[in-house]
């Protein structure tokens, strides 16, 4: 038996049994792992990587599990190399996927040698202005081949404006079962309707808890408590304007996509066999991102209005 197989066998015997139909309820991540993710996302706008750990049953909810994330490693950004290279060649999406799998396998073998939890339970990504969903994200999710995988997103631009933009997502089981049988770019609209999938339930946000070690907690407890007045600073309109611009672009794209789908409906009525249906998933992802932008606008306005009222009262 190989070292990787022996480590996997030992890990499976130590972890409590989890039902096959269990769903991911929440995520707990070590603070040091989170610092590595934040550092990578601040250094690269296209940062992505795998997060590792173990899963345990949730004692508070039946048929629910908790992902305990204790390690991570970065993945090479092969997509950016393919799109912006000066060597005159390009890398196909299939080759990028195969290279990521090979790189991940070599990393897991190295981690096993150092007695690190070598179980991939999700991925992390750097996002800008809440750009969460895309075909690339779904492809990375499906490549994990794990029904209870999670995705941690971090928005470094949003974090510079007074909010730790950390979020955790899971992909719905209905979409996983649907994508297991067919190519996600060729799933017809009636299949989405039968599965009850809409733009707001393909990706589901779940609670994210940050866990500190005992030494870190003791250090934070002994730190002098200084009053932080930076939270009272007036909001910066630059980020708000960028989100509004991105929202307008998405609405414009959705308008063109709706017109294209209407044209498909008209052509389909005349010739049902010779017309290929537009990707329904593309429209769902567009609507999901529009909803995400609207939530950001609402949150930004909710945080800004009290500060503006305070500033107005102080000036009078």
**Spans of all domains in the chain:** 3-222, 232-315
Does 305 score more than 80 pLDDT?
no
Q: Provide the 10 A C-beta neighbour count for residue 156.
A: 17
Does 131 score more than 80 pLDDT?
no
- Of residues 159, 101, 128, the one with CA closest to residue 47: 128
Give the pLDDT band (50/70/90) at residue 12: very low
- Tell which wins on pLDDT, 49 or 135: 49
Mean pLDDT on 293-301: 78
- Tell which wins on pLDDT, 14 or 26: 26
- Tell which wins on pLDDT, 64 or 220: 64
**How far is the C-alpha of 67 from the C-alpha of 202, rounded, in Å?**
20
What per-residue confidence (pLDDT) applies to 4?
A: 40
Let me know if domain 3-222 sits in CATH 3.40.50.620: no
């Amino acid at each position: 038996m190989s070292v990787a197989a022996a480590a996997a066998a030992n890990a499976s015997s130590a972890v409590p049994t989890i039902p096959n139909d269990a769903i991911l309820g929440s995520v707990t991540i070590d603070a040091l792992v989170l610092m590595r993710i934040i550092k990578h996302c601040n250094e690269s706008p296209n940062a992505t990587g795998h997060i590792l750990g173990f899963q345990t049953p949730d004692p508070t909810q039946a048929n629910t599990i908790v992902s305990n994330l204790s390690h991570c490693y970065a993945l090479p950004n092969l997509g950016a190399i393919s799109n912006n290279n000066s060597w005159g060649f390009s890398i196909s999406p299939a080759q990028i996927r195969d290279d990521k799998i090979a790189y991940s396998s070599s990393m897991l073998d190295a981690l096993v040698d150092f007695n690190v939890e070598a179980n991939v339970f999700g991925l992390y990504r750097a996002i800008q202005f809440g750009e969460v969903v895309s075909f690339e994200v779904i492809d990375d999710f499906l490549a994990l081949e794990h029904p209870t995988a999670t995705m941690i997103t971090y928005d470094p631009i949003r974090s510079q404006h007074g909010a730790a933009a950390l979020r955790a997502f899971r992909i719905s089981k209905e979409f996983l079962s649907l994508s297991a049988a067919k190519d996600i770019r060729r799933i017809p609209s009636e299949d989405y309707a039968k599965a009850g999938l809409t733009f707001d339930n393909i990706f589901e946000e779940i609670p994210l808890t940050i866990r500190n070690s005992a030494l870190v907690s003791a250090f934070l407890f002994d730190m002098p408590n200084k009053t932080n007045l930076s939270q009272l600073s007036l909001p910066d309109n630059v980020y708000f304007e960028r989100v509004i611009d991105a929202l307008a672009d998405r609405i414009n794209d959705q308008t063109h996509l709706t017109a294209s789908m209407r044209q498909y409906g008209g052509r389909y009525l005349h010739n049902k066999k010779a017309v290929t249906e537009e990707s329904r998933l593309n429209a769902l992802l567009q609507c999901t991102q529009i909803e995400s932008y609207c939530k950001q606008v609402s949150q930004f306005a909710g945080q800004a209005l009290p500060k503006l009222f305070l500033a107005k009262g102080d000036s009078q």
